[in-house]
C-alpha cells in the first residue's frame, strides 16, 4: 500500500489523493449559494460540517501543483477536481468516525516499520525514510496522516465487503454461465450482405446531403531552397554559408517578408499552385518536384503570409503559404465513392439486422422461419460447438461473449464492431461442465465472482453516501479562489 503512495507521489493525480470510492458529486447545482455572512466558507456538508477557504487553500498548497499540469488541464478543471477529492476525503473521514474505525499511532508505526521500501538489511532505515520525505515533498506528519487516511479507508471498505462469502450455488451458477458447452447452428449473413449492390442514385443522394463533409484543404505556396550557390556563390559549404542562414533566420524573426529576404534569388523561387496533402492538384495530376519530407513540412505551416525556415536532411528552405481553400471532393473520386458505398452498406446491414431482431422479439421468427430464410437466400446452415466463453477457435472473442448472453433455444444476431461479420444464431444444446472445486479455473471463477459482488456492494454504498450527505458549494467563493490562484 505504502509503496504505491511513493510511486505516484510525484504525479498530480496522486498528490490530490483520489478516493477509492467514487463519489460522483457535481460541484454546480448542489445546493443554494450561501448567505453573505458565510463568505469564508467554501462548502458545507449536511449544513453542519464546514470547509473554510483557508482549509481548502492549505490543501491546494499541499497538493503542490506544477504550472505544466495547470496548462495541460486548465486551472478551473484542476481546482474542480481538487475540491471534489477534498470533499470525498472529508466524507470518508466522517464515515470512518461514525463507524468507530480507528488507527492508533502504534498501528501507523507498525505499517511504517514493515514497509520494505524503508528497510535496509531487513531493518527500518530512518535515513531512507528521511530521503523519501525530501524527494516526495511530504512532511512526516502529513505523510503519516495519509497512511492513516488510506488505512481507515481500507477498513471502511472491509467493513462493508470483508464479510461477504457467497453461497455455493451463486459461485456454481457463474461458473456454469461461462463454462457451459454450447452447440449452435448459424447462418453467415455476410453471404447475403456482401452481394448487395448500392444503386448509383443512393450514392449521389448521400453525397448531395453530406457534401459539406467531403471537402479537402488545398494550399498554394512558394518556397526556395537555400543552396550554397544562391547564398554564397560557392559549390561547397563553409562558415559564410551558415552565417547567411543565421541572418535569414533573424530576418524572419524580425518579420521580414519572403520576397525581401533574398531579393536577388527571385528567379529561383518556386510557386506551387493549389495542392492537397496527398500532393494532388485540383485537376487530378500529381506534384512530383518536391520530396515528400519537405512537402509535408511546408503543408503543415498554419499561418498564411508568414515565412518559415525549414531544415531537412542538412538542407535549408524558406517557405510561405500564399493562399488556402476548402475544395469539395468530386463524386467521381474513386476513394470517396468507395467510402460512401461502404457506409451505405453498413447502414443497410444494420437495418436488415434490425428487421430480423424485431421479428424475433415479436415471436415472428422461429427455427422454421430460420430454415425458410436459409433456403430463400441460398445460404447453408453451419454447426459449431463452443467449449466455454474463452473458446475462440471458430469465432473471435467478442462474438463468443455475445453468444454466451443467450440460452438454449434462443435465436439472435451477433455482429463485430465493424459489421464485417454478421451471424444469425440458434443455440441447439447446452451441456453444463463438471465442477471441480480444486481446479484452477474454478478458483479463478470464485475470485472473479466474489469481486463482482463486492463491486455491486460498493456501487450501492456510493448511492447510500450520496443520499446521506448533502453537499453545498458556495460558487461565488469558489470563483474567487480560482481567480486568485
DSSP line for 435-446: P-TTSHHHHHHH
Cα torsion angle, 481, 482, 484, 485, sign: positive
Residue ranges, the chain, pLDDT below 50: 1-37
Query: CA 393 to CA 391: how far, in whole Å?
Result: 6
Determine the 3-state secondary structure of 9 from DSSP: coil
Query: CA 33 to CA 249: how far, in whole Å?
Result: 56
Q: Which grid cell sits at 97?
A: 468516525
CATH of range 2-163+463-484; options 3.40.50, 1.10.10, 1.10.4030, 3.30.2450: 1.10.4030
**Those residues with Cβ within 8 angstroms of residue 247's Cβ, 6 or more apart along the chain or in another chain:** none
pLDDT at 165: 67
Closest CA to 92 of 42, 16, 5, 153: 153
Backbone angles phi, psi at 426, to 5 degrees: -130, 135
DSSP string over 194-262: TT----HHHHHHHHHHTGGGSEEEEEEEEEEE--HHHHTS-SS--HHHHHHHHHHHHHHHTT--HHHHS
Q: Are strands 422-431 and 181-188 parallel, antiparallel or unpaired?
A: antiparallel
Percentage helix, strand, coil, to 5, in the chain?
50, 15, 30
Closest CA to 311 of 249, 261, 254, 251: 249
Query: CA 31 to CA 5: how far, in whole Å?
Result: 34
C-alpha neighbours within 13 Å on the C-beta side of residue 235: 0
pLDDT at 452: 73
Count other C-beta atoms under 10 Å from residue 134's C-beta.
8
pLDDT at 187: 96
Query: CA 247 to CA 365: how far, in whole Å?
Result: 79
User: Which runs of consecutive H residues, i.e. helices, occur in 362-415?
Assistant: 367-376, 397-403
Determine the 3-state secondary structure of 65 from DSSP: coil
**CA 166 from centroid of its chain's CA atoms:** 34
Query: CA 396 to CA 393: how far, in whole Å?
Result: 7
pLDDT at 357: 95
In this structure, what is the dihedral angle of CA atoms 336, 337, 339, 345, given to the nearest 10 degrees? 160
pLDDT at 123: 83
Identify whether the C-beta of residue 248 lies closer than 8 Å to the C-beta of residue 264: no
Domain 215-328 has CATH 3.10.50: yes
Q: Which grid cell sits at 180?
A: 457451459
Q: Are strands 422-431 and 215-225 parallel, antiparallel or unpaired?
A: unpaired
Determine the 3-state secondary structure of 324 from DSSP: strand
Query: CA 352 to CA 113: how far, in whole Å?
Result: 66
Query: CA 460 to CA 39: how far, in whole Å?
Result: 35
Identify whether the C-beta of residue 299 lies closer than 8 Å to the C-beta of residue 277: yes
Query: CA 482 to CA 78: how far, in whole Å?
Result: 10
Please name the residue that has the C-alpha cell 471441480. Answer: 436
Query: CA 469 to CA 460: how far, in whole Å?
Result: 14
Count other C-beta atoms under 10 Å from residue 147's C-beta.
18
C-alpha neighbours within 13 Å on the C-beta side of residue 279: 13
Helix axes 475-484, 53-63, angle to 10 degrees: 40
Amino acid at each position: 500500500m505504502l509503496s504505491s503512495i511513493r510511486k505516484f507521489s510525484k504525479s498530480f493525480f496522486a498528490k490530490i489523493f483520489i478516493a477509492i470510492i467514487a463519489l460522483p458529486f457535481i460541484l454546480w447545482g448542489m445546493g443554494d449559494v450561501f448567505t453573505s455572512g458565510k463568505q469564508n466558507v467554501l462548502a458545507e456538508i449536511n449544513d453542519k460540517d464546514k470547509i473554510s477557504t483557508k482549509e481548502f487553500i492549505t490543501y491546494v498548497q499541499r497538493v503542490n501543483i506544477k504550472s505544466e499540469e495547470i496548462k495541460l488541464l486548465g486551472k478551473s478543471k484542476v481546482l474542480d477536481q481538487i475540491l471534489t477529492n477534498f470533499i470525498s476525503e472529508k466524507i470518508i473521514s466522517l464515515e470512518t468516525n461514525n463507524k468507530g474505525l480507528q488507527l492508533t499511532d502504534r498501528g501507523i508505526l507498525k505499517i511504517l516499520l514493515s514497509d520494505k521500501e524503508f528497510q535496509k538489511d531487513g531493518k527500518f532505515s530512518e535515513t531512507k525514510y528521511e530521503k523519501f520525505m525530501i524527494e516526495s515533498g511530504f512532511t512526516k506528519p502529513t505523510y503519516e496522516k495519509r497512511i492513516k487516511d488510506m488505512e481507515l479507508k481500507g477498513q471502511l471498505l472491509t467493513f462493508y465487503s470483508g464479510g461477504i462469502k457467497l453461497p455455493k450455488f451463486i459461485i456454481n451458477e457463474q461458473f456454469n454461465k461461462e463454462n457451459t458447452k454450447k452447440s449452435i447452428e448459424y447462418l453467415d449473413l455476410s453471404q447475403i450482405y456482401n452481394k448487395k449492390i448500392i444503386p448509383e442514385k443512393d450514392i449521389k443522394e448521400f453525397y448531395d446531403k453530406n457534401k459539406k463533409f467531403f471537402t479537402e484543404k488545398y494550399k498554394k505556396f512558394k518556397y526556395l531552397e537555400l543552396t550554397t550557390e544562391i547564398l554564397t556563390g560557392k559549390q561547397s559549404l563553409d562558415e559564410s554559408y551558415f552565417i547567411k542562414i543565421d541572418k535569414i533566420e533573424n530576418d524572419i524573426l524580425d518579420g521580414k517578408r519572403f520576397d525581401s529576404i533574398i531579393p536577388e534569388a527571385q528567379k529561383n523561387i518556386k510557386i506551387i499552385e493549389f495542392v492537397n496533402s496527398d500532393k494532388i492538384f485540383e485537376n487530378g495530376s500529381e506534384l512530383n518536384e518536391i520530396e515528400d519530407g519537405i512537402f509535408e513540412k511546408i503543408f503543415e505551416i498554419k499561418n498564411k503570409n508568414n515565412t518559415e525556415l525549414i531544415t531537412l536532411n542538412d538542407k535549408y528552405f524558406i517557405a510561405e503559404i500564399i493562399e488556402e481553400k476548402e475544395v469539395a471532393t468530386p463524386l467521381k473520386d474513386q476513394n470517396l465513392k468507395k467510402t460512401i458505398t461502404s457506409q451505405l452498406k453498413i447502414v443497410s446491414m444494420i437495418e436488415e439486422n434490425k428487421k430480423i431482431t424485431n421479428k424475433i422479439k415479436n415471436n415472428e421468427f422461429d427455427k422454421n422461419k430460420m430454415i425458410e430464410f436459409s433456403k430463400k437466400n441460398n445460404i447453408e446452415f453451419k454447426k459449431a460447438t463452443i467449449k466455454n466463453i474463452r473458446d475462440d477457435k471458430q469465432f473471435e472473442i467478442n462474438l463468443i461473449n455475445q453468444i454466451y448472453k443467450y440460452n438454449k433455444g434462443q435465436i439472435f444476431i451477433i455482429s463485430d464492431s465493424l459489421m464485417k461479420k454478421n451471424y444469425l444464431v440458434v443455440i441447439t444444446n447446452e451441456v453444463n461442465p463438471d465442477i471441480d472445486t480444486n481446479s484452477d479455473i474454478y478458483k479463478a471463477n470464485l475470485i472473479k465472482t466474489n469481486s463482482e459482488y463486492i463491486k455491486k456492494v460498493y456501487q450501492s454504498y456510493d448511492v447510500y453516501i450520496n443520499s446521506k450527505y448533502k453537499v453545498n458549494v458556495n460558487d461565488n467563493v469558489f470563483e474567487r479562489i480560482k481567480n486568485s490562484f
